[in-house]
Structure formats: structure tokens, C-alpha cells
Amino acid sequence: MDVVVTGGAGFIGSNLVRGLLGEGHRVRVVDDLSTGKLANLEGVQQDVRIDHEDVQDVAAMRRAMDGAETVFHLAALPSVTRSIEDPIRTNGVNVNGTLAVLVAARDAGVRRVVYASSSSIYGDVPRLPKHEGMAPAPRSPYAAAKLAAEAYCQSFTRVYGLETVSLRFFNVFGERQDPDSEYAAVIPRFGARMLAGERPVIFGDGGQSRDFTYIENAVRACMLAAKAGPAAVGEVMNVACGARTSLRDLVAMLNAILGTELEPEFAEPRPGDVRHSEASIDRAAQLLGYRPTVDVPGGLRSTVEWFTGALAVRP
């Protein structure tokens, strides 16, 4: 099957590319490399077609999708913090870019678009676990953009018959996640500092919790969404482990893996962050057959092992 992965040189995208190649698919990567890196595709570059294009360019997207059956739309400008600093650019890439991808997919005769959404759309609703029937309450421009893009996906299914499936990822972590970005996610940020013998920095009191989801689970959900039956079309669903871990407990788990005793430093909470996040994954189980296969401790061990090797070969 011919497939397109937008954002295929990014963290989730590059791992998905490897999964798709492993199943024998012909893969085209679309990435402008603004946040993705060709290094993430090391070892598989020769097996994929790479288009250096902006997802907001409809004509370029039509060319990239010519003859493709499935599009995995992962290209985005990530980070709540970045969206607060630059909401215009966040909206451009995450909303206008998604609209361009949908228009191009419609015009190219693509069968299905699998869209990577975000748990951030739920906001700081105190009720847990968070399920798809809850009213969205985005707290940041990033979350608002992700919600708008979901709505575009559903509207293209209703109006044009383009099959779409939206996956709300919860705090995905694992190999190839960039620890050096100023907008780095919490696990690579903690891991990089602790591997260097430095104390991790927690914004807030450390009691806040997240439903951390190992990358292998996210990749599997994407591939299941591409093959799911008609009941999944036009739907949104959570992809997570269905359990939450506090940031204090995360530091303790990393200390246990690394054999260290590094106490966290605490800083002021960041605007737009939510206090607790935990997903109900019942809908994904029902519609996709999704169940997490790697838990947080197992995922952390694999991630630390990969980062240890990656940091060791840095110049």
C-alpha cells in the first residue's frame, strides 16, 4: 500500500515510518524540517521518498499524495508554550496545514486520513479519566488549534466522504524525541539532565500527573486506525495507557533506572499547563482493537537505553 506520512521526520512520524516499512508499505515522507530532522530517518532514508514541503501548500500536498491510499497527518508545530508565544504560526501550521492536507487528500482520491490530535483539547477539566464524550476546554492556542483541526477532519468525512480518524495522543514519549529543543517534552528533558548528573526541573510542585504513552503504543494505534472498519470513520479517540504518573513519581522511576538519587528542582508553573491527565481508552479498544502493549516503566527503560546510546555518540 502507498502511504504518506506528513511530519515523517519528526519524533512520532519517524517511528511510524519504520513501523509501516516493517509491514511492507511504500512510504512517502512530507516534512519541511522546521522541527523534524533527517537524522531521525537514519537507516531508512533509502527506503522512503522524502518531499521537503510545507503542509500549508495545497499543490505540493496534491503531488505528494498522488496514488496514495492512506495519509497519516502528523505534521504540526508542537508545544503549548510555543503556541502562547506565537499563536499565529501555530494556527497556520496546525489548522491551515491540516485543511490543506484534507483538501489535497480529497482531490487525490485518498481513502483515509489518520490525524494526530492531542489530549490538550480537554483542558484542565477535573473529572478523570478523560473520555471523548466530555466537552473540550482548550487552555492554549495549541489545544484550540488541535480541536479545530479535528472538526475539519469530521466535516470532510460528512461533506466529502473522505474517511478520517482522529487520535488524541496523551504525552507520547520514547526514542527519537528531542531533548534539546527549548520546547522539549518532560521525559526527554528530565532524562537528558539526569543522564548528565543534573537535577531535573519541575514546573510546579510535582504533584501534577500525566498519562504517559510509550511510542510503540502510539505507532500501533496509527496503524490500527488505518485499517479499522467503518465504525471508526469520522470518530475521535484517545490513545494512551489509561493510567497516570505524577512528575515526582516519574523522577523516582528514572532514578531507579539510572541508579541515581537526584532530587528535582522546582520552578514556577507554566501558563496553559493542566494539572492532571488520564485517559479512558475504551473507545479505541472498541473501534480499533487498541490496547497498550508497553507500560510506562518498560517504556522508560527502553527510552533511557536509547538516549544513553544517542548521547554517547554526540560530537
Mind telling me the catalytic residues?
142
Question: In the numeric block, which cell numbers belong to residue 212?
Answer: 504517559
28 and 5 Cβ atoms separated by less than 8 Å: yes
Question: At CA 176, angle to CA 269 and CA 226, rounded to 5?
Answer: 100
Letter for the amino acid at 192? A
87 and 46 Cβ atoms separated by less than 8 Å: no
Q: Pick from 94, 109, 123: which is nearest to 275 by CA?
A: 123
Q: Is 246 helix (H, G, I), strand (E, B) or coil?
A: strand
- State the CB neighbour count (10 A cutoff) for residue 209: 21
Handedness of CA 252, 243, 170, 279 (dihedral sign): negative
Q: Tell me how far apart the alpha carbons of residues 205 and 265 are, in angstroms, rounded to a whole number.
A: 9
Question: In the numeric block, which cell numbers belong to residue 306?
Answer: 536509547
Strands 209-210 and 245-246: antiparallel
